[in-house]
Structure formats: structure tokens, C-alpha cells
Structure 1
Amino acid sequence: MRTSPGIHTKSKRFVSYFMLFFILLAFVTALITALIDPLQFYHRPSWYTPLLSEQERYQNPGLAKNYEYDNIIIGTSMTENFLPSQVDASLGGTTLKLSMEGSTVDEHYKIAKLALETGKVQQVLWGLDYFSLKLATAEEEEDFPDYLYDGKLWTDYKYWFNSSVYKQFFRSIKSTLSGQTKQDLETLYNWNDKVVFGKQYVAESYFKACDKEIDYGTNEESLVQVKVYFNTYIRSLLEEYPDVQFYFYYPPYSVMRQVAWYSSNPVRFNNQLVMRQWMFEQFEQYPNVKLYDFQTTSEWTFNLDLYKDLSHHNGEVNTWIAEAIGEDSSKYRVTSSNIEAFNTLLEEQAESAVIDSNGNVYRSSVQVNGEPLAFTTRLVQGNEELWLPAKEIGTALNASIDWDATTKTVSLTSGGNNVTMTIGNTEALVNGQTLAMDAAPLLAGGKVLVPVAFVADHLGWNVSVEQEGEWLRYLLNS
């Protein structure tokens, strides 16, 4: 049976109306989104006050496009505790913070480029973390809202038809009606008052990191690739915007962050040293760039009460950084005459710093017959005694080492003397006699840590311990 022409025409007309309705609905939805614009991507709404979103990757484009400023802050969570007013006081002008937690160099480039293209930026304060010199993972890249950064109107549909946009709008309206809405750019993204700082938390983080860093070391990007990222996402901006002043700085992680890398992830630590110098050599070529190094500032980095974990310091340190850069302090400004000294000092600090379970930091050194002993994982336990990997002690003292994984027992033997210790047990067996120790051996970073003075003494070495201020010096002589 054939369909009558009338029915066929009505079907076509219905499809046409449906398509027209769908197009009109999409157009009206896009128009409404552009009108209410809760992320202020197109404009700053005048009839209500949008709440500022803590979703930095989504909120930053609107801020960069539609707010007034002269300076921008770029970087990871290490830069989130800057107060724009304090940066204003140090650098002059009006500062906008465009930080992004856990961000990578390609993400830094995207937000910096967006802001720079507005022509407003006169100065850039950029916290340059070595570990951010990589690209976002495939999963992170998929979650990143590129449509807010690419400048293409036809990709904005992801914003127009996003339900979260309307949720943000209704939250703003509710807050406006209650009289609670305010746009606080001063503390936006700032977490200083939301966490607790203290050396005990750094100590906890350090002992966990000793185990985790071993795995991270197998995934380090090559220096060749890291340099490519630098050239693509940082150098290109320096060349494209020669009239903009860039202030880069190496953030001051706690010294125990450096110790964890040095001990358990030497690939990252050594790559960091190479890149610190190489990046300065690149920056040195541009008159619109200044570089500052705060990573060896021991009065900060050794004071673990300033940190909430191995890396993240409180807002007071951000203030000190802004003031030092504003003063162009020679103590922190990197030059061709001091870059090697900065690197040498950082390596010395990473080699010598040691922590106890309460978060107190010491400096330590061990000499065996006048020769310095290079050691990796270490800590202070008991009566301020230095504990080192049994394997490293055994090698230095020419002792044979036996490890029983089943009983978690380590035994060192030299010159007819034997010291046997068990993980978690404060009693040691010395030449068949049970002796008490101030603390028990433990596993850290996959290594068995034992007391260096106790072991050396009972293996027949002459042991001298010198304590001066924060320094613990061990002299072992045969």
C-alpha cells in the first residue's frame, strides 16, 4: 500500500518544525548562558554578582579576559597562597592570580597566553616547579576545558550546554538574594587558612615519600624532552612578549623534599640540578626576564613548621618571596656568578639534612678513616643518633651483610665481631650477647636503617660523635 502524498508532506513538515524548534532551543539556551555567564567568560554580569568558582581551570579564563589587572601570577599550588595586594605592594600595579593546582607547563602556557593576548599584562610572576615541566596526562588533558582557552566561538557549545553552568548560576542567585555574595579575588584559591602546618606533618610525609619516590624514579621524563617543553611553552612567550617583564622563581620546598628525591629518586634530583642551571642560561638571553632561587634558603626550608607536607609552605613564605622579588634581592637573584653555588649548596643540603620522628631537622656527616661517607636514606632516632642503611654502613666498614627477609633480621660481621638486629626490635645480639638500643631498626625507602655509631662501635671501630648546633658529625676510625 502506498503512502498518500498528504501524509508524506505532513511527515516532512513535522521533521522540519522539529529541527527548527531544536535549533531555536539551542540558540536560546546558548543566548541565556551567554547572558547569565556565571564564569564571566564573555562579560561581567551587571544585574547579579556571580560567585567565583574554585575550579581554577574553568574560572581563570573569564578572570583573564574581563577583569582589570597589570600583573598575573602563574604556577601550581605553590603559588596559590599569594595575596594579590602584597604582590601589588612589591611589584606595583594590580595583580590577578591565575594559579592552577597540580598544573603542568602546557596548562601554564594556555592561561598565560590567554592573559597576555589581552594586552593588559605588564608583569608575570611565575613559580617554576621542576616537576611541572611535563605535559598533562591523557586523562588530565581530556578533563581540561580547552574550549575556554582556544578563542574559537564554535567550540563554546561545551559551555553553553553545560548543566554545571546553571548550577553555578543558581548558587550565585541564592547567595545574591541572601546578601552573602562577594567577589574576593584577594583570597581566591588560597588554602592557607584551610590546612594545618607543622613539622610533625612534614615528618609523616617524609617517611611515606621514602617508599613512594622509588617508583616515581622509573617514570622521569628525559632531559631532552623536558627542554623541549620549556622551549615550547615558556621560551615562546618570552620571545612573543618582549615588553612584558617576567619574574620566575624556584619555589622553596622543605629541605626534606629535596632529601627524599636525593635518597630515593636520584634521577629526578640530578635532573632538577641540571635544569636549574640550563633554564637560567636560557633566561639569561632575555632582558625581560629575572630569575630568583629560594630553594636553598635554609631559614625557611629547614623550618618545617612553615610547611603542611614536604613541599607546600604557608602564605607567610609567599609574602617573603614577593618582598624579595620586589626588592630584587641579590641574596636570591640568580646570576652567572652564583648559579653553580646555588646548585652546590642545594646538593650539600640534600646530602646532609636528616629528620627525626618529631620533625626536627639536623645536619649530619660521617667520615670513615677521614673519608666522607656518602649515604642515602637516613633519620635520627633515640638519643639523637644517626641511623643509616645497613648495606651502606657494611660496605664502608668492610663488613659482610646478611639479610633474612622471613625474620626481617640483618646481620653485620667484621673481624670476628657480629651485630644482629631485627626490624621493630630494640634488642640487638652482639657477639652472642643481648644489648638494648635506644630505638628499633626499621625499613624506609626499601632499606634497613640501623644506628651507625652502635654498629661501628661493636664491630671494633673507634667512634667519635661531635654535636655542634644542628650538626651531628660521626668520625669512625679503624
Structure 2
Amino acid sequence: MSEKKWIKYWFLFLMIIPIIGLFNYIIDPFQQYRQAKLYKVYYNSSFSRYLNSGMIKTYNYDSIAIGSSMIANFKIDELKTIIENPIKLRISNGSAYEYFITLNSVLENNKNIKTIFLGLDVFSFSGKIDRLNYNNMDFPKYLYDNNIFNDFKYLVSFDILKESLKSLFRSYYYSNDPKFDFNTMYFLEASNNGVDLLLEKNLYKLFNKNSY
């Protein structure tokens, strides 16, 4: 490749990267800098580790419920009957170390936290002490440290760019998707697994005081 072509490609690269960074900053698909106003938040459990890091920083809350899918199947309205102004932080197959990082971020970002409702499963303690995941799912540790200098990983990421674009169009094409509902955020998705279906339909009734 000629020198002129190299210069041309580098020039284009240096032009595109700031545009991507600015676009990701404005859209901010995981709400790292502000609560979403340009789109409806899609509470997809597949991205809960990213979504959690943003909610911790930008949402108004006095309490948190943190845990795996068991915690996820509490509705926000029901949590409000036992803890004040809560949000849910789902960490599917989360390790104890992931809970530690997440809780540290909560305490750093909300000095007035009143209640932490923690659902800790036995498998969370398996593996190494610093194990970041149970099923090879990405944990964006850099989004939990409040260090703005490593945010470039978020801002100039092509994966984040794709999520920015999806965030803008998703609510238009899938406006009736229940994953947009804050009250049922991170609810256990439908599954062909009989146990999962049973949990999805009946787990919540076990904790509903009005059912007794």
C-alpha cells in the first residue's frame, strides 16, 4: 500500500473515532452520564452488567435489590412494600466478586443508601476469589470505578455504537416489548425449560403477601 493511501486511511480513522465517541456520549445506551431521554430503556438481562453500572450512577434510588434471576422476578412495585424507592440490579450467574464490585459502586455513588436487599446464591462462591463471571459473560469492570479516563473503552467502542443505534430504533419497532417496563425490569424471560416457566409464572406468588 502506498504512503498516500496510508495517510488517507489514518486521516479517515482519526475523523471517524471522535464522531463515534460523540455519538455514543450523546445517546449513552447504558446511561453512564445521564438517564435516557432520547429513547426508552430496554431492560435486557443479557446486558444487565452494563445497565447496572449506569443505573447506579444516574438513577434516583434509596434502596437496591441485587442478585440473580430470583431477585429479578420481584416487581419494583412489590419491592416498594418492603424497601424504599428501590431499583433492581440483576447479575445473572453472578460471582461474589461481581457483587462486591457492584456494591462498592453503589456505596460510592449513593452516600444515602438506606437498604440493600441481597440475594446471594450458593454458586456465587464457586471458583477463584476474583472470578468475574460464571458463564463467560462480560463484566465491564471499568464502568464501575468512576475513572473518567478509561471511559474511552465505552465511548469509542463499535459494540457500544451498535447499541446506541439499537436504542434509538428499538422503541419504535418493538414498542410493546415488556422489557421496556421499569416495574418488571429484568424479569425472567420465557423459556422452553419447564423449571424456568414454572418460576416465571409462579415464583412471584410465593412472595406476594396478598396471596395468603
TM normalised by structure 2 equals: 0.76
Q: Which runs of 4+ in 1 moved over 4 A?
A: 17-21, 137-142, 195-198
Aligned match of 1:187 in 181, 184, 188? 184
Q: Distance in 2 between matches of 1:43 and 1:185?
A: 16
Q: Distance in 1 between matches of 2:174 and 2:123?
A: 42
Correspondence for 1:436: none
Aligned residue runs from structure 1 range 118-157, under 5 A: 118-119=109-110, 120-134=112-126, 135=129, 136=131, 143-157=138-152
User: What is the count of residue pairs matched by the alignment?
Assistant: 199
Confirm or deny that 1:168 pairs with 2:163.
yes
How far, CA to CA, are the matches of 2:119 and 2:133 in structure 1? 24
Closer/same/farther in 2, CA of residues 178 and 77 from structure 1, 3 Å limit? closer
Question: For 2:50, what is the secondary structure of its paired residue?
Answer: helix
Would the alpha carbon gap of residues 20 and 122 (structure 1) be closer, same or farther in structure 2, given more than 3 Å must change?
A: farther
Q: Distance in 2 between matches of 1:162 and 1:175?
A: 19
Residue type of the alignment partner of 2:186: Y
Equivalent pair of 1:38/1:51 in contact (CA under 8 Å): no
The structure with the largest strand share of the pair is: 1
For the Cα contact (< 8 Å) 1:39–1:53, is it kept in 2?
no
Give the counterpart of 1:35 among 19, 26, 30.
26
Shift of 1:172: 2.7
Match among 82, 92, 99 for residue 101 of structure 1: 92
1:103-133, CA deviations, whole angstroms, 9 ceiling, x for partnerless residues? 0111011112212212242110001223312
- CA-based RMSD of the aligned residues comes to 3.5
Q: Once the 2 structures are TM-superposed, how far is the Cα of residue 76 of structure 1 from its aligned partner?
A: 2.0
Rounded Cα–Cα distance in structure 2 between residues aligned with 1:161 and 1:78: 34
Q: Please state whether the residue corresponding to 1:98 is helix, strand or coil.
A: strand
What's the % identity of the aligned pairs?
26
Relative distance call for 1:18 and 1:175 in structure 2 (3 A) is: closer
Question: 1:63: which partner in 2?
Answer: 55
User: 1:35 and 1:127 mapped to 2: Cα distance?
Assistant: 34
Task: Supply the distance in 1 between the matched residues of 2:32 and 2:115 (Cα, whole angstroms).
Answer: 23
Query: Bigger relative contact order, structure 1 or 2, given CA contacts below 8 A and separation 6+?
Result: 2
After superposition, residues 187-206 of structure 1 pair within 5 angstroms as: 187-191=184-188, 194-195=190-191
Cα distance in 1, alignment partners of residues 106 and 96 from structure 2 = 15
- Structure 2, gaps ≥5 residues long: none
CA deviation digits over 1:36-67, x for unaligned, max 9?
11111211243333433322111111111111
User: Which whole-Å CA distance do the structure 2 matches of 1:141 and 1:32 have between them?
Assistant: 29
CA distance in 1, matches of 2:69, 2:137: 21
Greater shift after overlay, 58-67 or 145-154? Answer: 145-154
CA distance in 2, matches of 1:89, 1:139: 32
Question: For 2:133 and 2:52, how far apart are their aligned partners in 1?
Answer: 21
TM-score (norm: length of structure 1) = 0.36
Q: CA deviation at 1:196?
A: 7.8
Structure 1: which 5+ runs fail to align?
A: 1-10, 203-305, 321-478
Q: How does 1:83-102 map to 2 (within 5 A)?
A: 83-91=75-83, 93-102=84-93
Partner of residue 43, structure 2 = 52
Specify the SS of the correspondent of 2:82: helix
1:142–1:102 Cα change, 3 Å: closer
Residue 18 (structure 1) shift? 6.5
* Alpha-carbon contact 2:43-2:186 (below 8 Å) kept: no
2:65 and 2:71 in contact (8 A); partners too: yes
Deviation at 1:97, TM superposition (A): 0.3
CA gap of 1:64–1:171, structure 2 versus 1, over 3 A, is same
Residues 383-435 of structure 1, C-alpha deviations (whole Å, 9 max, x = no match): xxxxxxxxxxxxxxxxxxxxxxxxxxxxxxxxxxxxxxxxxxxxxxxxxxxxx
| 8 Å CA contact 1:82, 1:319 repeated in 2 | no
Counterpart CA distance in 1 for 2:193 and 2:15 is 54
